[in-house]
Copies of this chain bind each other. A is one copy, B any other.
Amino acid sequence: MKLYENARSGNCYKVKLLLSQLGKPFEVVHVELEGDRPAPVAEGNPIGRVPTLVLDDGTHLGESNAILLYLARGSAFLPDDPIEQARVHQWMFFEQNLHEPNIAVVRRWVHIDHNADQQGDVFAVKKAGGEAALATMDRHLQRHAFFAGERYTVADISLYGYTHVAHEGGFDLGAYSAVKEWLARVKEQPGHVPM
């Protein structure tokens, strides 16, 4: 398999983390965050962004969480039980709807593009959205060790991607002690690799 990716993207890291924990070999192709996309990303993936995974038969898959769910089929990282699987999905849609658009985007402006001061009103709205997402996670993690099925799944991998680098966007995790304890638990999982 070939993974078109950028090393500073939490969305790409999620896929590399799962591939490592599954012990599946893969080749990495670096893609710049800005500029021309290589054909497998621009043409092979209708949404046109990284990560894009190209399977050995040439099939292209896009969207980090869809790739995680595909790779995790039949493994311990995705429960078979319909309700537990629905809870995995629930937290992964939360991640793409309320977490990533706020925390990943603020981190990018602050840490990578250094243009937070050019975002006008949007910056404060996204910063507040990120805080709200962290508070939702913390509330859940005060009563649960992981997000779904009381064990480490792709829902945790999905949310770990940008939460563990949220401080790079100026998010202070000090107020979210359950999130901090969960980050430590995720880091201890067998086969964990750093970003």
Contact = CB atoms under 8 A, between A and B. Distances in A.
A122 interface: yes
Interface stretch (A89-97, A108-116, A168-176, A180-188): A89-97
A100 interface: yes
Contacts of A85: 70
A190 interface: no
A120 B124 CA distance: 11
Contacts of A70: 82-83, 85-86, 89
A73 interface: yes
A86 B100 contact: no
Contact of A101 (B64, B97, B119): B97
Interface in A83-142: 83, 85-87, 89-90, 92-94, 96-98, 100-101, 119-122, 125, 136, 139-140
B46 A66 contact: no
Interface string A49-87: 000000000010111111101100100000000110111
Nearest to A141: B46
B47 A69 contact: no
Contacts of A96: 93, 96-97
A42 to B, nearest CB: 11
A149 interface: no
Interface in A18-69: 46-48, 59, 61-67, 69
Nearest to A46: B140
A89 B101 contact: no
Interface of A: 46-48, 59, 61-67, 69-70, 73, 82-83, 85-87, 89-90, 92-94, 96-98, 100-101, 119-122, 125, 136, 139-140
28 contacts: A47-B90, A47-B98, A47-B136, A59-B83, A61-B86, A63-B97, A64-B93, A65-B93, A66-B87, A66-B89, A66-B90, A66-B93, A67-B86, A69-B86, A69-B89, A70-B82, A70-B83, A70-B85, A70-B86, A92-B93, A93-B93, A96-B96, A96-B97, A97-B97, A97-B100, A97-B101, A119-B121, A121-B122
